[in-house]
């Protein structure tokens, strides 16, 4: 007879298939933190808006698919990214309006 233990069919974790084992009595494994979600928050705080927006969207998709933690980080990074983008566009519009509102040179005909 072989020395390998007998596992339940289709068992994802061999330790949990053996009745009375220590691993079966432990709490479920902790979910991992999604890195794009974390980096979205960091780049959002640093006002690097395009990177925060892209990483936030990637983070949300990965958190849903992989069942990871970090959804709040991705959403906050997205919000900060979009707010930074809106502020940048508003500042550029204000700058253009300010430059164009100066005195016009007199015209002579």
pLDDT for 23-44, tens place per residue? Answer: 555 667 788 999 999 999 999 9
Quick one: average pLDDT of 40-68?
A: 96
**72-99 pLDDT per residue, tens:** 999 999 999 999 999 999 999 999 999 8
Over 90: is that where the pLDDT of 109 sits?
no
* 3-state helix vs strand vs coil in the chain, percent to 5: 60, 0, 35
Model confidence band, residue 105 (pLDDT cutoffs 50, 70, 90) = confident
Q: What is the DSSP string of 48-101?
A: -HHHHHHHHHHHHHHHHHHT-B-HHHHHHHHHHHHHHHHHHHHHHHHHHHHHHT
- Is the pTM higher than 0.75? The answer reads no
Q: How far, rounded to the nearest angstrom, does the alpha carbon of residue 69 sit from its chain's CA centroid? A: 10
């Amino acid at each position: 007879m072989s020395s390998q233990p007998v596992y339940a069919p289709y068992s994802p974790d061999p330790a949990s298939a053996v009745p009375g084992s220590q691993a079966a009595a432990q709490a479920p494994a902790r979910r991992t933190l999604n890195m794009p979600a974390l980096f979205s928050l960091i780049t959002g705080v640093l006002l690097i808006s395009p990177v925060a927006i892209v990483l936030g969207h990637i983070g949300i998709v990965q958190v849903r698919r992989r069942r990871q933690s970090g959804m709040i980080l991705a959403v906050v990074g997205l919000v900060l990214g979009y707010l930074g983008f809106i502020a940048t566009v508003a500042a550029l519009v204000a700058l253009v309006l300010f430059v164009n509102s100066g005195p016009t040179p007199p015209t002579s005909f």
